[in-house]
Amino acid sequence: MKILITGGAGFIGSNFIYYQLQNHPENQFICLDALTYAGNLETLQSAMQHDNFSFVKGNIADRVFVYELFETEKPDIVVNFAAESHVDRSILEPELFLKTNIIGTGVLMDACREYGIKRYHQVSTDEVYGDLPLDRLDLFFTEETPLHTSSPYSASKASADLLVLAYYRTYGLPVTISRCSNNYGPYHFPEKLIPLMIINALHDKKLPVYGTGENVRDWLYVEDHCSAIDLIIRKGRVGQVYNIGGHNEKTNLEVVRTIIKELGKDEELITFVQDRPGHDRRYAIDPAKIHRELGWLPQTNFADGIKKTIKWYLNNESWWQRIISGEYQDYYVKMYGNR
């Protein structure tokens, strides 16, 4: 079986590639990534040592390029991680999110229709549901929760989800969608909350926390997310949406304090900054459907997962130092510049 993984040089996509290489070495894997600011080819350095893995640079919104790739590779399964994903960036530059997250998804599905695939899987987010009140801890997002977006990012992801389901209903394209809670773990881009706090704390820099830090997120260790997607593309029902949650709800302030404690730093590093526009209050996923149908449950609690994550960043300083310096963007040229 040949699996095309888009956005595989990013955080979750790269972890999914390593999960697949470890658990399904009999398959072939192609990574397609545009290597924008969050795509890091260095992340896939170990994957490139595998004969059943290959990398292609390209944009999912480039129809001619995507069709040529499908014509050449003829993938059996497409897993679409490719997306602009940072909420703050979407507020500053929404058009980029519309192009990648909506148009790019449509191009991929058109290629899937043209060349025939066994499954197209769309990796989405719980942010398409909007948020939940902080004083109603009994409420959770289910697959039936109405879409109610808060940012250009979440609106673009919700639009892509609707497009995917429309292609299933109109064309019979064999699709599935997963909506996950906040991921954390190895290879997380340093602008995100957990790696940013780890790196700043290591340098005794201020730890900026939006508002009062009371916003709640359900944290999902990235390997658990990868195992869920693997189950969905192999055993999930076509045309279905599956929520993937970690059962690890924490306020942003709790997360920051946990990191400070693990690193032996002082809480005086915490500094509260002006909240961002439309900041969702609480995310909480009910993953009962994927547990009921596919037997999936998260295996990593937050206490263990955050320790593993911090340890990874301590042991891989050169990886994130090159990102901070911008040197990581030169790696593709070094690898492929003369080819």
Catalytic machinery residues: 126-127, 153
From 104, 85, 33, select the one nearest 335 (Cα to Cα): 33
Cα 119 to Cα 72, 291, 333: the distances in Å are 18, 21, 33
Q: What type of residue is 71?
A: E
Cβ–Cβ under 8 Å, residues 132 and 141: yes
Q: What type of residue is 123?
A: V
The Cα–Cα gap between 226 and 81 comes to 11
Residue with tokens 């706090």: 197
From 203, 26, 2, select the one nearest 115 (Cα to Cα): 2
The Cα–Cα gap between 18 and 334 comes to 22
